[in-house]
Amino acid sequence: MEQENRNGLDSGSDPFEDAAKSVSAAEKPEASSPESGEVAEKKFVIDEAWAVASVQFIFSPLAKYSHAAWEVTAEEAQLVSPKMQVFLQNLIDRYVPQLLSRFAARNKELSELAAALAMLYFIKRNQVKRVLKVEAMIEKAKKDDSPILIPRSPKDSPAPVDVSP
Amino acid sequence: MNSYVELNFGKSFTGKTARMLHELRGEDRVILADPKCAQLVDLKNWDHLWPFFDPESNDGDGAWLGKDFVDYFRKRQRCRFRAMVHFRSHFREQLNLLCRLAMGTKNLTLAIDEMGLFIPSGPINSLPPSVTASAISGRHEFIKFTGTAQLPSLVHFTVRSNAEKIRWFRLTERNALDAARDFMDESFISQVASLPNYVCIETSDSRPPFRDESLVGKIKILQKVARPDRVS
């Protein structure tokens, strides 16, 4: 037994890493994306176009309020965009998560309320989208003088319902 | 700090937290657990950390989400640091994790403000295992342990009985004075109930108890924060 313990010590296992492993857990994937962590990381990669657009955006107030000559072309923006791309990637990877986690820890009630409101917003947005779609179909059917077919959600019967008088 | 376990007991605003911070000034590697997230949030020269605790992780044992918090200590395994860790909930569980991390980090001082919130009194098995380990055998890993509480009875007796040094600030509650009787004679007990702020009776294993007034007016820490309350 003692020999086994000694072997454990000699094998190079790091007590800190053992402790760190047992006290921390990865961010829950569903918190950021319903898919795996790898996909979530890919989703937030800043590409060249974002960097160019950011550089152009910085000069846009000058172009609007001072002179149109301030407008930065894509070629000009590409002179700066590599550095902008690195900065934005760092911002997304490090500073924003740190700020959000600090804010969430300090203002637990507010962050929970914001999450709940965001959830309600997405639910309502889906409902409104569906209502608008149906209204558009009714308007179109009235114009064409054809029967009104209201689509149902996939959970219900797949057959459309005829509600025309 | 020259003891491995030091405790500070006293009523609110008697200067025990300020004294603990004063004693920590000479320590190279310090973790301070703050459960109140009030006056210590703006303390300068400290790295303020806000770990995000998920009680459901690790099969219900709880864990801190993300790598930022653990990475802070990973990068400072061989250098000085002063980390103020602010907790808002699950104090007992989070202190257990913090002690486990401290045992892995080694060679540091673990300070706990308001220990009653983290390790309240209870049966012997109510103290989380890593807290027990760091309190009773932390010195093997060169971990010093210090903390404050408003009453001795608020702190688990395993930690209390292992203290090498206790500073008694003003206490008026009868049970608290009874607890103090185990450490000092009646002449000091009569003083404990009427001690001015920042004055304490210090008891330790190595020397007889004495009244410590040496730091009155000298501890500047937290004074700026405390000023509005004094005015009111």
Residues B53-111 pLDDT 10s: 988 888 878 899 888 899 999 988 888 999 999 998 899 999 999 999 998 888 999 99
Is A19 in CB contact (< 8 Å) with chain B? yes
Is B63 in CB contact (< 8 Å) with chain A? yes
Which chain B residues are Cβ-neighbours of A26 within 8 angstroms?
65-66
* Closest residue to A18, CB basis, from B54, B64, B104: B104
- End-to-end CA distance of chain A, in Å? 86
3-state SS class at B148: strand
Q: What is the pLDDT of residue A153?
A: 62
Inspect the interface and report whether the beta carbons of A105 and B73 lie closer than 8 Å. Answer: no
Is B70 in CB contact (< 8 Å) with chain A? yes
Dihedral, B112, B117, B118, B124 alpha carbons, nearest 10: 120
Q: pLDDT-based confidence at A161, cuts 50/70/90?
A: low
Inspect the interface and report whether the beta carbons of A104 and B69 lie closer than 8 Å. Answer: no
Dihedral, A119, A120, A123, A124 alpha carbons, nearest 10: -150
**ipTM value for the complex:** 0.73
Region label for B108, one of left (φ > 0), alpha (ψ between -120 and 50) or beta (otherwise) = beta
**Residue B231: is its pLDDT beyond 80?**
no
pLDDT in tens, B205-227: 888 999 988 878 777 666 655 44
- Please choose, from the candidates B47, B65, B45, B46, the residue with its C-alpha nearest in 3D space to the C-alpha of residue B55: B65
**Residue A1: is its pLDDT beyond 60?**
no
- Please choose, from the candidates B30, B11, B33, the residue with its C-alpha nearest in 3D space to the C-alpha of residue B131: B33
Q: What is the pLDDT of residue A8?
A: 44
How far apart are alpha carbons B156 and B152 in whole angstroms? Answer: 9
pTM across the whole model: 0.61
For residue B10, what are its two tokens?
């006293």
How far apart are alpha carbons B9 and B177 in whole angstroms? Answer: 11
* Closest residue to B104, CB basis, from A19, A27, A106: A19
**Residue A102: is its pLDDT beyond 60?**
yes
How far apart are alpha carbons B94 and A154 in whole angstroms? Answer: 45
How far apart are alpha carbons A79 and B172 in whole angstroms? Answer: 72
Inspect the interface and report whether the beta carbons of B70 and A23 lie closer than 8 Å. Answer: yes
Find the helix or strand (DSSP H, E) in which B85 lies.
strand B81-86
Instruction: Count Cβ–Cβ pairs < 8 Å, chain A vs chain B.
Output: 69
User: To the nearest whole angstrom, how far is the Cα of B139 from the nearest Cα of chain A?
Assistant: 16
Which DSSP state fits A151?
-
Going across the sheet that includes A24-25, the strands are A24-25, B63-65, B53-54
